[in-house]
Amino acid sequence: MSEQVFKPSRADSDLRKKLAKAGLDVQACYQCGRCSAGCPVTPFFDLLPMEVVRLGSYGIEDELLSSRTIWLCASCETCTTRCPNEIDIAHLMDVLRQRALEQGIKPAEPRIAAFHRSFLRSVRRWGRTYEVGMLAAYKARSRDFFGDLLLGWKMFRRGKLRLLPRKIRGRRQVKALFTRVEKGKRK
């Protein structure tokens, strides 16, 4: 979608190693375009799914990690399901997003990053999602104060929003799980 010319000579082999380790054989892509034809979010992307795969195989990381596409991907798994070469493209998006976060790269869609952070904070604290607390945290982080106020009110009137969190007994266990994963340890 972009007019920029990418050359494999700029390749960064570190990214390719990382992708291979995650079981992603991006070199298998022959650019048939099936992933991009079926993706429902492409009109809003700055890189098509097939371009993400190609940049991955070139090892060009900057453009990938600073793209909107890795944040806008809704993880609907249509690309993964239809790829004739069994490249798990939705998983590729996950790996790239995680890498962008680890490298502290400013998300091209900050509201989406703020949403994920608010969601996971809530799970870490209560063991389950606490919608009202999560919404408040998301609004504060994203500065999206006025979006969906009317919808929120309608949902509240219909009893869809609980004012108090449902905490679980195993909260400590869940917190420990988060800490362990963040330290990069597998159970």
DSSP string, 155-170: HHHTT-S-SS----TT
Q: Quick one: which of 120, 136, 140, 149 contacts another protein (CB under 8 A)?
A: 120
DSSP string, 17-73: HHHHHTT--GGG-----HHHHH-TTGGG-SS-HHHHHHHHHHT-HHHHHT-SHHHH-
Binding residues for another protein, how many (CB under 8 A)?
62
Q: Please enumerate in sequence order all residues whose Cβ is within 8 A of that of 42, keeping only pairs 6 or more positions apart, or say none.
A: 36, 48, 49
**Pick 46 or 131: Cβ nearer another protein:** 131
Q: Which residue is associated with the tokens 């949902």?
A: 155
With contacts defined by CB under 8 A, name the span among 1-9, 13-21, 55-63, 87-95 that binds another protein. Answer: 87-95
Q: How far apart, in whole angstroms, are the C-alpha atoms of residue 110 and residue 144?
A: 11
Q: Does 85 bind another protein (CB under 8 A)?
A: no
**Pick 10 or 160: Cβ nearer another protein:** 160
Which of positions 4-43 make contact with another protein (CB under 8 A)?
A: 22, 40-41, 43
Q: Quick one: which of 51, 61, 63, 88 contacts another protein (CB under 8 A)?
A: 88
Size (the chain), residues: 187
Q: How far apart, in whole angstroms, are the C-alpha atoms of residue 108 and residue 33?
A: 24
> Which token pair is 160?
């869809």
CA angle 28, 34, 37 (to 5 degrees): 145
Cβ of residue 33: shortest distance to another protein, in angstroms?
Answer: 18
Cβ of residue 10: shortest distance to another protein, in angstroms?
Answer: 26
Q: Quick one: which of 20, 28, 76, 136 contacts another protein (CB under 8 A)?
A: 76
Binding site for another protein (CB under 8 A): 22, 40-41, 43-44, 72, 74-78, 80-81, 88, 90-91, 93-95, 97-98, 101, 109, 111-112, 114-117, 119-120, 123, 127-129, 131, 138, 142, 144, 147-148, 151, 154-155, 158-162, 166, 168-170, 173-174, 177-178, 180-182, 186-187
